[in-house]
Structure 1
Amino acid sequence: MSYVVKYDILPSKMINNVLEPDQARIDQLEKLQKFFTKLEISILGEGIRNPIVITALSKDDITTRYGGSRLMIAQKHNMDIPCIIADFDNVFPEAKIIKEEEIPSYYENPPTHFQLRAAKLYIHGCETIHLKNKTPEKQIEKQPKSMKKVKNKYL
């Protein structure tokens, strides 16, 4: 394995969202189930429940591997976001190094499958919890976890 798996809460704006859905996909999911509206209400109401997965090749090359929709909402609101990091070049020296078996413990709703491969970290099977919530509007009043003041050591 040519990277170290780490965990940290990072400023969303420093991550290049290569997984952000295009407008046609956003429109399609909104029409079918109000996917992004419900996701945004959920994130603003209760914070980001589960970390995204990112690859950090250098300070100028930090990209999403999983969680592009959550990152899109976090960037829209300039929020910090919890991240599982495949750190290839010690881009985040202060981030906590974690073991493979610890990965699920960083999720409120753990993925059903994760695998560390030589070149990438794969995580699949996270539930879309926000779609199961019948009254997400009531959550908007809660203080989001990810918006609590965090000393930003990366910007």
Structure 2
Amino acid sequence: MDELPITLAGKNKLEAELNQLVKVEREELKVAIAEARELGDLKENAEYHAAKEKQGIIEGRIAQLQGILARSRVVEVSKIKSTKVVFGATVSLLDVEKNVNITYKIVGEDESDIRDNKISYNSPLGKALIGKEEGDTVIVKAPKGDIEYEIESFEFVD
């Protein structure tokens, strides 16, 4: 089984979600299913079927999170010393065509969130940035065409 890199913050977020699902939502569902059973005939009981369906979704997510956490290896980003962009780097880029600055943090697949400016090391941009240095230019193939970025700076902060 391959280990997947994850930041400490990403691991903590996944553990918090898992804890919420196991200790709160799973327990609430047990009560909802018990109450729905008391309503009688299970074949025509919409509340029971809805609760069982939700239970399946929650149990699936719990198993998924447990699998992710089991194969994850925490990378302590603040301890990284590198002259090249690697996993965990927070990279400041210049979109050459639009002349716009943007900053992304390179994180694990399961913690990436573009709204939070966190991109996966496996994403096209993440792959293009890994191994590059300050001042390098990278070209990312996107559906709307190639996008050119210049690496202005990068740092390793948690």
Pick the TM interval, shorter chain.
under 0.3
Q: Looking at secondary structure, tell me which structure has more helix per residue.
A: 2
* Structure with larger Rg: 2
With the length of structure 1 as denominator, give the TM-score of the two structures. Answer: 0.27
Q: Which has the higher contact order (CA 8 A, sep 6+)?
A: 1
